[in-house]
Structure 1
Amino acid sequence: MSRNNEQGMALALVLMVIAIISLLSLSVIGMTVHNAKQFDTTESNIQTLDLAEMGFTYYETSFQDFYKRKMEEINVNIQNNMISDFESGELKDVTVYEEIVATKLLEAVNVFHEQLSFSTNNGNADSLLLAKPIGMDSSFQLAFPHIPSNIVCTTCNQVEDTPGEHIEVTLQSTGMTEGTKSRTVRASFSLNIGPITIETDGSGNPNEVGDYGIHIIKPTNLSTCSEDDVREFGRKSCSFEGPVEINNINRVNIEDASIVVSGSLTTNQPLNNGIENSTIFVTGDGSFNSPINGIDASNLYIGGTANFQNLNQGVNGSTLIIEENSYFNAPINGIDHSKFLIGGSATFENINQGINNSLLIIEENATFSANGGTISGMENTTIHVLGNANFNNRKFNKVRNARICVRGQVTELPKDADYVYSPSLGTDETTFNDVCALPESSSGTISEEDISFDWSFDTANVEYEYQIDE
Structure 2
Amino acid sequence: MKAIRNENGLALVVVLLIITVFTVLGLSLFALSVNSSKHAQVTEIDVQTVDISEMGFVHYSMRLEDFLEKEIQTYKPTIQTLMVNDLQANTLKSQEHYEKMVADHLIARLHAAGVTEKLVPPNGNRVIYNKFVDAKDNRQFQLIMENKNSDIFKETIPASAGGGQMLKLSVKSEGIHDDGLLKSVEATIEFKIDRITLPHYVTGGTGHNYDLTQILIPPNPPNTCTGTSLTTSTTNCKFSSSITIDASNANIIGQNYHITGTVTSKVNITSIQNTKMHMTGEFKQEQTIGRIEGSELYIGQDANFRNFNNNPAISSSKIVVIGDAVFPEPINGMSNSQIYVGGNATFRNTNNNITDSTVVIRGNATFLEPINIGANSSYFINGNARFNQRQLTIHSTAKVCVNGTVSELQHARSSYPRLFTPDSANFSTVCTVPGTQAVAIGDNFLKWFFDATNIDYTYK
* TM-score, with structure 1 as normaliser: 0.49
Instruction: Provide the secondary structure at the position in 2 that maps to 1:217.
Output: coil
Structure 2 counterpart of 1:278, from 275, 278, 293 = 275
Structure-2 change in CA distance of 1:241 and 1:454 (3 Å): farther
Whether the aligned pair in 2 keeps the contact of 1:211 and 1:441 (CA below 8 Å) is no
Counterparts of 1:295 and 1:338, CA distance in 2: 10
Counterparts of 2:279 and 2:212, CA distance in 1: 20
Say whether residues 1:330 and 2:325 are aligned partners. no
Structure-2 change in CA distance of 1:259 and 1:448 (3 Å): closer
Cα displacement string for residues 428-454 of structure 1 (whole angstroms, at most 9, x for unaligned residues):
4xx110111122344467998931378
Whether the aligned pair in 1 keeps the contact of 2:295 and 2:318 (CA below 8 Å) is yes
Partner of 1:243: 242
Counterparts of 2:400 and 2:445, CA distance in 1: 42
Q: Which moved more, 1:441-450 or 1:349-358?
A: 441-450
Give the 5 Å matches for 1:37-436.
203=199, 211=211, 215-220=215-220, 222-227=222-227, 230-232=230-232, 236-247=235-246, 249-271=247-269, 273-313=270-310, 314-369=313-368, 373-397=369-393, 399-415=395-411, 416-423=415-422, 426-428=423-425, 431-436=426-431
- By how many angstroms is 1:228 displaced? 8.5
Unaligned runs of 5+ in 2: 1-50, 70-192, 201-209, 452-460
- By how many angstroms is 1:380 displaced? 1.1
Counterparts of 1:442 and 1:232, CA distance in 2: 33
Unaligned runs of 5+ in 1: 1-56, 76-196, 205-209, 456-470
Counterparts of 2:317 and 2:256, CA distance in 1: 14
Counterparts of 1:331 and 1:299, CA distance in 2: 20
Instruction: Provide the secondary structure at the position in 1 that maps to 2:390.
Output: coil
- By how many angstroms is 1:354 displaced? 2.3
Structure-2 change in CA distance of 1:296 and 1:203 (3 Å): same
Counterparts of 2:373 and 2:394, CA distance in 1: 5
Whether the aligned pair in 1 keeps the contact of 2:387 and 2:409 (CA below 8 Å) is yes
Give the 5 Å matches for 1:443-462.
443=438, 450-452=446-448
Whether the aligned pair in 1 keeps the contact of 2:394 and 2:418 (CA below 8 Å) is no
Instruction: Provide the secondary structure at the position in 1 that maps to 2:223.
Output: coil
Whether the aligned pair in 2 keeps the contact of 1:346 and 1:366 (CA below 8 Å) is yes
Cα displacement string for residues 290-335 of structure 1 (whole angstroms, at most 9, x for unaligned residues):
0001000110110000000111121011011110100001011101
- By how many angstroms is 1:242 displaced? 0.5
Instruction: Provide the secondary structure at the position in 2 that maps to 1:332.
Output: coil
Counterparts of 1:286 and 1:307, CA distance in 2: 6
- By how many angstroms is 1:400 displaced? 2.8
Q: Which moved more, 1:442-451 or 1:319-328?
A: 442-451
- By how many angstroms is 1:259 displaced? 0.7
Whether the aligned pair in 2 keeps the contact of 1:212 and 1:439 (CA below 8 Å) is no
Structure-2 change in CA distance of 1:198 and 1:367 (3 Å): farther
Structure-2 change in CA distance of 1:202 and 1:315 (3 Å): farther
CA RMSD of aligned residues (A): 4.4
Structure-2 change in CA distance of 1:445 and 1:306 (3 Å): closer
Whether the aligned pair in 2 keeps the contact of 1:292 and 1:312 (CA below 8 Å) is yes
- By how many angstroms is 1:397 displaced? 3.2
Instruction: Provide the secondary structure at the position in 2 that maps to 1:330.
Output: coil
Partner of 1:102: none
- By how many angstroms is 1:265 displaced? 0.3
Counterparts of 2:444 and 2:240, CA distance in 1: 31
Whether the aligned pair in 2 keeps the contact of 1:242 and 1:263 (CA below 8 Å) is yes
Instruction: Provide the secondary structure at the position in 1 that maps to 2:428.
Output: helix
Cα displacement string for residues 53-96 of structure 1 (whole angstroms, at most 9, x for unaligned residues):
xxxx99xx79x68x96xx99xx9xxxxxxxxxxxxxxxxxxxxx
Instruction: Provide the secondary structure at the position in 2 that maps to 1:434.
Output: helix
Whether the aligned pair in 2 keeps the contact of 1:212 and 1:441 (CA below 8 Å) is no
* Identity across the alignment (%): 28
Structure 2 counterpart of 1:439, from 431, 434, 439 = 434
User: 2:424 corresponds to which letter in structure 1?
Assistant: T
Counterparts of 2:402 and 2:445, CA distance in 1: 42
